[in-house]
Copies of this chain bind each other. A is one copy, B any other.
Amino acid sequence: MKSMKALVDKIRNEGKAIGTDIVKVDGFINHQLDVAFMEQLGREFSWKFDGEEVDLILTVESSGIAIACATAPFFSYAPVVFAKKSVPVSMVEGYYHADTHSATTGETTTLVVSKKFINEENKVLILDDFLSHGESARALASIVKDAGAELVGIGVVIEKAFLNGGKILRDMGYRVEPLAVIDHIEDGNIEFR
């Protein structure tokens, strides 16, 4: 789990630690998006999962959409599906769903994916920006399981190793590949593993 140098540099230069567990990367991932840099992250994910067959990239709105779109070209333009946080009025067909609890906001959200867009033939790569408590990834993995699809792995841009999400997911047997691993945050300094 070696961190990607360009990403570590970018987080050091443009990211900001808030308290002991929030890393603000709104300048290139979360609010303003640096699409050229996103493409580098996408290429890096393709190296991490080199040799794996992936025919569906699954993520969650809104945080994962940009990274999933930037990664798709490196997996032969595999379709991207983003789980929605509410059931659209037009989603009249069936859907898979799983709950996710946010430690930051204290809210529980139900993620939904239409049954039209995932099935038991799919080989799925889950992508997201952050891995903290692992709630989103766990909900997405549960949807992959419900659909009878194969979960190739979980790629995250930044894993917070001082939270338990990565451990939980790996203990469940999932392959988890972060591009950068933050060991801890101390006095406003972000320390990478």
Query: Interface residues of A toward B: which range?
Result: 35 or more
Given contacts A22-B90, A36-B73, 11 further A-B contacts (CB under 8 A): A18-B90, A26-B90, A26-B117, A32-B114, A33-B65, A33-B72, A33-B80, A35-B72, A35-B77, A69-B69, A89-B104
Chain A interface helix/strand/loop/mixed: mixed
Q: B36, A80: Cβ atoms under 8 Å?
A: no
Contact present for B36 and A77 (CB under 8 Å): yes
* Chain B proximity of A31: nearest CB distance (Å): 6
What does the 1/0 interface line of A88-125 toward B look like (CB < 8 Å)? 11111000000000001100000001101100000000
Copy tally for this chain in the complex stands at 2
CB pair A81 B31 closer than 8 Å: yes
A79 and B32 form a contact (CB under 8 A)? yes
Q: How far is the CB of A122 from chain B (nearest CB, A)?
A: 12
Instruction: Check A89 against B69 for contact (C-beta < 8 Å).
Output: no
Which A residues between 60 and 92 are near B, CB-CB below 8 angstroms?
Answer: 61-62, 65-66, 68-70, 72-73, 77, 79-82, 84, 88-92
What chain B residues lie within 8 Å of A77 (beta carbons)? 34-36
**Is the CB of A193 closer than 8 A to any CB of chain B?**
no
Residues of A whose CB lies within 8 Å of any CB of B are: 18, 22, 24, 26-27, 30-36, 38, 61-62, 65-66, 68-70, 72-73, 77, 79-82, 84, 88-92, 104-105, 113-114, 116-117
**Residues of chain B lying within 8 A (CB to CB) of residue A104:** 89
**A73 neighbours in B (Cβ, 8 Å):** 35-36
Cβ contact within 8 Å between A31 and B114: yes
Q: Are A32 and B69 in contact (CB under 8 A)?
A: no
Task: Find the B residue at minimum CB distance from A80.
Answer: B33
Closest Cβ of chain B: how far from A14's Cβ, in Å?
11
